[in-house]
Amino acid sequence: MSDLDSFDVFPLLPAELRLQIWRHTCHQRVVEVVYDCDNDRCTSSTAPPAILHACRESRFEALRIYRRSFGTRSHEPRTYFCPDLDTLYLPRPPFMGYDDACRLFTELVQGTDDTVNLAIDYVRPSIRRPWETYNKYVLMQSFPKVKEVDLVLSTGESAEGEDDHEHEHQHEHEHEHEHEDIGLVDPTGDLMALCRLLSDVKESFFHEAGSDYMISDTKEEFYEQPILPPLVLKSKVVSSH
């Protein structure tokens, strides 16, 4: 073929082969979802899968894989999502952090039970609100099928952290583009520093989400440690769509 950007005989392929090719175009995505508590709706800056817009045949096949998700009591679902392929990314709100609305996400937002891949932001202790660690713990526990949670470092953030002002400034401008492609990759930098960071995160969950119990008959105290899913550090890479 002289033109590698076109494949004119594609419509002549058997239907079964064409559908198989369309299915192979469906790849893993990171789908950012933000719950707007003032308007009781979810928004997303993640572009819909391209397969939905290629042609009628591709759209028909895509709708067998992706479904409109994350509706609320007052708004219909509008974000295309495949629980088996996609990662649901719930970024940290810039002002109140992971507040009560974030903790209650699965109660306020419909169709979250099948989510397998979850990502939430890592929050540095210097900017973390007092309620955030507990709320994040409850949020993680509210997804019954999630087996692993990605803790997302901001773009350009290292294990040693970044300037607080830069961190807040970035969150203010992350949603300027109508659509974004978000990637989650293994973080770079000092391996020991990354290990310490992850250890500190787990320790904060144990401290904030653990519970003390007193058995009245024996006057014995027991401490129940929270059960955490596996936590994995990831770096966020954002590009305009």
**For the segment 44-100, what is each residue's pLDDT rounded down to a tens digit?**
999 998 888 878 878 888 888 899 999 999 999 999 999 999 999 999 998 899 999
Say how far apart CA 229 and CA 12 lie, in whole Å. Answer: 48
Say how far apart CA 188 and CA 194 lie, in whole Å. Answer: 9
Give the pLDDT confidence score for residue 209 in this predicted structure: 80
Say how far apart CA 111 and CA 191 lie, in whole Å. Answer: 37
The more confidently predicted of residues 162 and 200 is: 200
Give the pLDDT confidence score for residue 162 in this predicted structure: 47
pLDDT at residue 172 is higher than 50: no
Spell out a b/e string for 12-23, using b for 16 or more CB atoms within 10 Å of the CB, else e: eeeeeebbeebe
Q: Are 109 and 37 in contact (CB under 8 A)?
A: no
Give the pLDDT confidence score for residue 121 in this predicted structure: 97
pLDDT at residue 15 is higher than 70: no
Bridge partners (DSSP) listed for residue 30:
87
Mean pLDDT along residues 232-237: 95
pLDDT at residue 171 is higher than 70: no
Give the pLDDT confidence score for residue 22 in this predicted structure: 64
